[in-house]
Amino acid sequence: MAPKRRGARRDAADDVPVDLLHTTRDCARESVDEMEMRHSAELERMRAHCASFGSGKDARERALLANALVSERHARERELCSRSKQSRDDTSAEDDDDGRDESDEEDEKKTKWKSLDEMMGDERREAKPSRAARRRAKRDDDERARANRIASDMAQLGVSEKDLETNALNARLREFGMRVKEVRADGHCLYRALADQLERRGGDGVALDVDGLRMACARTMREDEERYRPFVEDCDGDDDEADARWARYVSDVESTAAWGGQVELMALAKAIERPIEVFSATMPTVRMGEEFAGAALRVAYHRHAYGLGEHYNSVEDVEER
């Protein structure tokens, strides 16, 4: 297939509704629960908005960058809320300290008669910082350490597409009472995720291991070449070289750790005669094999999971663990 021509690079901010791009309320006065509910609703709006971008790699990239801006704003708002709560807690603790200091002074005034040793002991204690001063110093140290941790986490969040994507995907799955179940990050991850799903939801006689799924996928692609070959890069020609590339591609699917993607998912749905649902951070749920009955097998697609890029995980219900 001929390569697609790319247009001028867009500004990701242009793809975000104005009211979702900037903080428009006093987040410091918002409770944590109120903020989480608002963030969840905003992510849902973004998913619906990003669906209008269409499909394809460019649309996915636009959606990911747009969602990253919203997720980054959410992170800043959570930090603002956290700092406001910490400030209120510190103020309350200071008031308590002042009350205790006054009580301590009253107790000292009531003690009139002391031995010489006791008086010397009092003088030594007065030279040390008071309990309230020590508590304030400890809180200051804890706050500095906490601020350093937050700064480090925020710095990572600002540059990590993985974290932004993970937060958005987790929020989406929570709405359905589901969560990600990690599988090993290697070239077999798609097949491992589906093997886990077949084990959880019943395989109906289908081989449950990675090798069995790979062989079933390759067999289906060979038997229905016209359906799958046009979607494999550099394999849709009529010449001998294209034929050789197609044969090599299917052979790799069958017997190597070649990474699987959408073409393989289509073939696997047909091979095992089960619908497959693919969840991602920014795109609507993709469902393949809708013509087949049975419980859908669910996998999560991660565009920025690891240094190597794309990755698939299994998906489980929250109560399964």
Residue 243 has which token pair? Answer: 């034929």
Of 187, 269, 258, give the one whose Cα is nearest residue 221.
269
Domain C-terminal end among 170, 197, 229? 170
Residue 4 lies in a domain: no
For 189-200, write each residue's pLDDT tens digit: 999 999 999 988
Q: How far is CA 319 from CA 36, 166, 203, in A?
A: 21, 20, 21
For the chain, strand residue ranges (E) read 178-181, 276-279, 286-288, 297-306, 309-317
In this predicted structure, what is the pLDDT of residue 283? 85
For 239-254, write each residue's pLDDT tens digit: 899 999 999 999 999 9
| pLDDT: which is higher, 261 or 2 | 261
186, 221: one domain: yes
Q: Which amino acid is at 321?
A: R
In this predicted structure, what is the pLDDT of residue 83? 72
162, 208: one domain: no
Residue 33 lies in a domain: yes
In this predicted structure, what is the pLDDT of residue 6? 37
Q: Is the pTM of this model over 0.75?
A: no
Q: Which amino acid is at 68?
A: A
In this predicted structure, what is the pLDDT of residue 292? 92
Domain with 313 in it: what CATH number?
3.90.70.80
Q: Please state which of the ranges 28-32, 111-115, 160-164 shows the lowest mean pLDDT.
A: 111-115
83, 135: one domain: yes
| pLDDT: which is higher, 202 or 125 | 202
Residue 90 lies in a domain: yes
161, 225: one domain: no
261, 139: one domain: no
Domain that holds residue 68: 12-97+128-170
CA-to-CA distance for 294 and 303, rounded, in angstroms?
Answer: 28
Domain count, the chain: 2
Centre a 10 Å sphere on the Cβ of residue 172 and count the other Cβ atoms it contains: 20
Q: Residue 292: beta bridge partners? A: none
Average pLDDT, the chain: 76
Of 321, 23, 318, 46, give the one whose Cα is nearest residue 168.
46
166, 220: one domain: no
Catalytic residues: 186, 189, 311
CA-to-CA distance for 209 and 205, rounded, in angstroms?
Answer: 12
Q: Which amino acid is at 5?
A: R
| pLDDT: which is higher, 223 or 117 | 223
213, 289: one domain: yes
158, 214: one domain: no
Residue 198 has which token pair? Answer: 């077949």
23, 90: one domain: yes
146, 187: one domain: no
Residue 143 lies in a domain: yes
Residue 122 lies in a domain: no
Residue 109 lies in a domain: no
Share of the chain above pLDDT 90, in %: 32
